[in-house]
């Protein structure tokens, strides 16, 4: 956990988890009916949960 949040030597904490949320949120926000493309919707949701 410390390596993930390591801010020594001027490095910012990792943003990997926030980016996965952004991808998932943007996909579902831009698709009014995500169940029409169920496989692609599951892919985005799985990427976020991984």
Distance between first and last Cα of the chain: 17
Give the residue, 6 or 47, on which the prediction is more confident: 47
Q: Residue 44: CB partners within 8 Å, gap ≥ 6?
A: 23, 24, 27, 28
What pLDDT digit, counting tens, does each position of 11-47 carry?
A: 555 566 678 888 888 999 998 898 899 999 998 898 8
pLDDT of residue 34: 87
pLDDT of residue 47: 82
pLDDT of residue 23: 85
Are the CB atoms for 20 and 47 separated by under 8 Å?
A: yes
pLDDT of residue 41: 93
Model-level pTM?
0.58
């Amino acid at each position: 956990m410390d390596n993930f949040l390591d801010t020594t030597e001027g490095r910012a904490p990792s943003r990997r988890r926030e980016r996965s949320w952004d991808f998932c949120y943007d996909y579902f926000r831009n698709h009014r009916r995500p169940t029409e493309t169920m496989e692609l919707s599951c892919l985005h949701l799985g990427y976020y949960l991984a």
